[in-house]
């Protein structure tokens, strides 16, 4: 009897203590996002997954029901939430407003932008931000840089006024262009940016040398050239659709000859003034003479050459859509340094006082329609904003760009692809970034709502993870309020 009582007591003790031991697997030094819906940029929604993050990378992605986690783990409950890859802004300028640059890291991360592509600025200035990103990879967006705009003479962004800060170098000869490419390559740039005042010979020398060095060459089609020639010569990507309309006109050859004559006759003019004069003289005429069949032939060449497009639609349509009047946009200005806030509010008033001409509306519609055609032609698109140019808040403006891409005809999933996997492919990093797969860098954004149902849900950010370090909503709000 006594023996039976002792055995019963032992059994009760075993059951009691075993019930106190946490059940499930424990992963040391691991962040676990449990029972979340993944948004795969290629496949779409994948429900009920658990994602484990360790040593800055995605360690495991498993079906939630297949893995029971111990409550001892560092767990984020993903129930009812949606996990997307970290977003890219593929067209930014740290050097455009230098006093804003110290705030841009926080702004980007605060809005889920974990990687950026800087497309032009003084090399000593932009390299400082790339170096800082490399030194603090879990607290900074990844930064890819082009260094200065490679322009001819006269160069456009020559520092002559506030609208044309010194973002470029003016190159007098082909030899100057080649020397500058070699110099920038030695300094560790990630790509080259060509600009509008280059001669055709300079442009061809840059694209040839850049492609030999494995450097992508992006930029504006020079005014001395047409789009097809630039693409065939090795232009890997085009920004803003810039000067595409000039080649799509039925009188494109006449316009090209006129541009070349003006560039020669007015070579002693200021670069910014001469470029604006040519745009004002030809852009409206080109849109008026837009030739659909000619455009189709040009897009076939761009598709064949895989000449990526960064349309910056929020910028291109900004005068018509007036993003700076929207409550959300104005609210984002609160995260800017005080002097810049006030300047942007005053500038907004000045722009609102300007007339929205019929041509501005026509050009905005042309830009939207052209992006739709580019997408149907299966030409790669990357989402970029040109922030902080034209009152576009770093970070926040990328979400507006995604919405504009949807307006142009992309599905929400296709729009997400332009800011995730596409830039990774562009930089040959698709095995490291742009998706939610094992062994990729843990650059992720957890959303409270499904972006496939409404692309504006990319703004519903719950948590941002940069190479394994998680910033919850409270921490993100602190980041956004902090003005270094």
- CB 420 within 8 Å of CB 87: yes
SS (H, E, C) the chain: CHHHHHHHHHHHHHHHHHHHCCCCECCCCCEEEEEEEEEECCCEEEEEEEEEEECCEEEEEEEHHHCCECCCCEEEECCCCEEEECEEEEEECCCCCCCCHHHHHHHHHHCCEEEEEECCCCHHHHHHHHHHHHHCCCCCCEEEECCCEEECCCCCCCCCECCECCCEEECCCHHHHHHHHHHHHHCCCCEEEECCCCCHHHHHHHHHHHHHCCCEEEECCCCCCCHHHHHHCCCCEEECCCCHHHHCECCHHHHHHHHHHHHHHCCCCCHHHHHHHHHHHHHHHHHHCECHHHHHHHHHHHHHHCCEEECCHHHHCHHHHCHHHCHHHHHHHHHCCHHHHHHHHHHHHHHHCCCCCHHHHHHHHHHHHHHHHHHHCCCCECCCCCECHHHCCCCHHHHHHHHHHHHCCCCHHHHHHHCCHHHHHHCCCCCCCCCCCCCCECCEEEECCCCCCCHHHHHCEEEEEECCEEEEHHHHHHHHHCCC
pLDDT at 356 over 90: yes
Region 202-216: mean pLDDT is 97
- CB 141 within 8 Å of CB 108: yes
- Kindly report the number of other CB atoms within 10 A of residue 111's CB atom: 26
Let me know if residue 24 belongs to a domain.
no
The model's confidence at residue 215, banded by pLDDT at 50, 70 and 90, is very high
The domain of 153 spans 86-432
Task: State how far the Cα of 244 lies from the Cα of 237, in Å rounded to an integer.
Answer: 12
Let me know if residue 476 belongs to a domain.
no
What's the pLDDT at 162? 86
For residues 394-433, b (16+ Cβ closer than 10 Å) or e, as one string?
Answer: bbbbbbbbbbbbbbbbbebbbbbbbbbbbbbbbbebeeeb
pLDDT at 294 over 90: yes
pLDDT tens for residues 45-84? Answer: 999 999 999 999 999 999 999 999 999 999 999 999 999 9
pLDDT tens for residues 268-283? Answer: 999 999 999 999 999 9
Single pTM value for the model: 0.94
Let me know if residue 425 belongs to a domain.
yes
Based on the number of CB atoms within 10 Å of its own CB, is 261 exposed (0-12), middle (13-18) or buried (19 or more)? exposed
pLDDT tens for residues 387-438? Answer: 999 999 999 999 999 999 999 999 999 999 999 999 999 999 999 999 999 9
pLDDT at 181 over 90: yes
Let me know if residue 56 belongs to a domain.
no
pLDDT at 317 over 80: yes
The model's confidence at residue 22, banded by pLDDT at 50, 70 and 90, is low
Domain count, the chain: 1
pLDDT tens for residues 241-252? Answer: 999 999 999 999
Let me know if residue 43 belongs to a domain.
no
Query: What CATH number does the domain containing 286 carry?
Result: 3.20.20.140
Let me know if residue 63 belongs to a domain.
no
Let me know if residue 77 belongs to a domain.
no
Let me know if residue 484 belongs to a domain.
no
């Amino acid at each position: 009897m006594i023996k039976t009582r002792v055995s019963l007591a032992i059994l009760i003790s075993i059951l009691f203590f075993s019930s106190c031991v946490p059940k499930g697997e424990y992963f040391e030094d691991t962040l676990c996002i449990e029972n979340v819906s993944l948004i795969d940029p290629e496949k779409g929604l994948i429900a009920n997954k658990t994602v484990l993050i360790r040593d800055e990378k995605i360690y495991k992605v498993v079906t939630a029901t297949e893995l029971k986690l111990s409550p001892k783990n560092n767990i984020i409950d993903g129930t009812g939430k949606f996990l997307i890859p970290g977003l890219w802004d593929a067209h930014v300028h740290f050097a455009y407003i230098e006093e804003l640059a110290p705030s841009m890291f926080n702004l980007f991360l605060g809005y889920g932008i974990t990687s950026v592509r800087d497309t032009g600025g003084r090399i000593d200035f932009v390299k400082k931000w790339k170096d800082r990103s490399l030194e603090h990879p879990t607290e900074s967006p990844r930064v890819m840089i082009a260094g200065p705009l490679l322009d001819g003479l006269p160069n456009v962004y020559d520092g002559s006024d506030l609208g044309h800060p010194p973002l470029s170098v003016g190159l007098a000869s082909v030899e100057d262009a080649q020397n500058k490419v070699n110099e920038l390559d030695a300094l560790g740039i990630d790509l080259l940016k060509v600009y509008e005042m280059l001669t055709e010979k300079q442009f061809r020398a840059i694209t040839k040398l850049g492609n030999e060095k494995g450097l992508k060459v992006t930029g504006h089609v020079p005014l001395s050239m047409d789009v097809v020639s630039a693409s065939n010569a090795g232009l890997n990507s085009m920004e803003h659709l810039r000067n595409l309309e000039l080649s799509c006109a039925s009188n494109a050859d006449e316009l090209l000859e006129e541009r070349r004559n003006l560039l020669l006759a007015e070579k002693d003019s200021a670069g910014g003034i001469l470029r604006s004069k040519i745009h004002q003289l030809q852009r409206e005429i080109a849109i008026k003479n837009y030739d659909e069949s000619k455009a189709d032939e040009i897009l076939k060449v761009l598709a064949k050459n895989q000449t990526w497009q960064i349309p910056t639609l929020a910028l291109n349509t900004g005068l018509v859509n007036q993003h700076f009047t929207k409550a959300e946009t104005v609210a984002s200005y609160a995260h800017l340094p005080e002097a810049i806030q006030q300047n942007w509010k005053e500038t907004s008033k000045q722009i609102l006082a300007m007339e929205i001409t019929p041509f501005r509306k026509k050009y905005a519609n042309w830009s939207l329609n052209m992006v739709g055609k580019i997408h149907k032609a299966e030409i790669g698109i990357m989402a970029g904003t040109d922030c902080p140019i034209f009152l576009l808040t770093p970070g926040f403006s990328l979400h507006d760009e995604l919405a504009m891409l949807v307006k142009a005809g992309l599905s929400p999933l296709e729009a997400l692809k332009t800011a995730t996997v596409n830039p990774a492919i562009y930089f040959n990093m698709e095995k490291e970034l742009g998706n939610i797969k094992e062994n990729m860098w843990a650059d992720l954004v957890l959303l409270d709502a499904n972006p496939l149902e409404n692309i504006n849900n990319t703004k519903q950010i719950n948590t941002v993870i940069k190479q394994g370090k998680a910033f919850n909503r409270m921490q993100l709000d602190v980041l956004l309020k902090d003005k270094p």
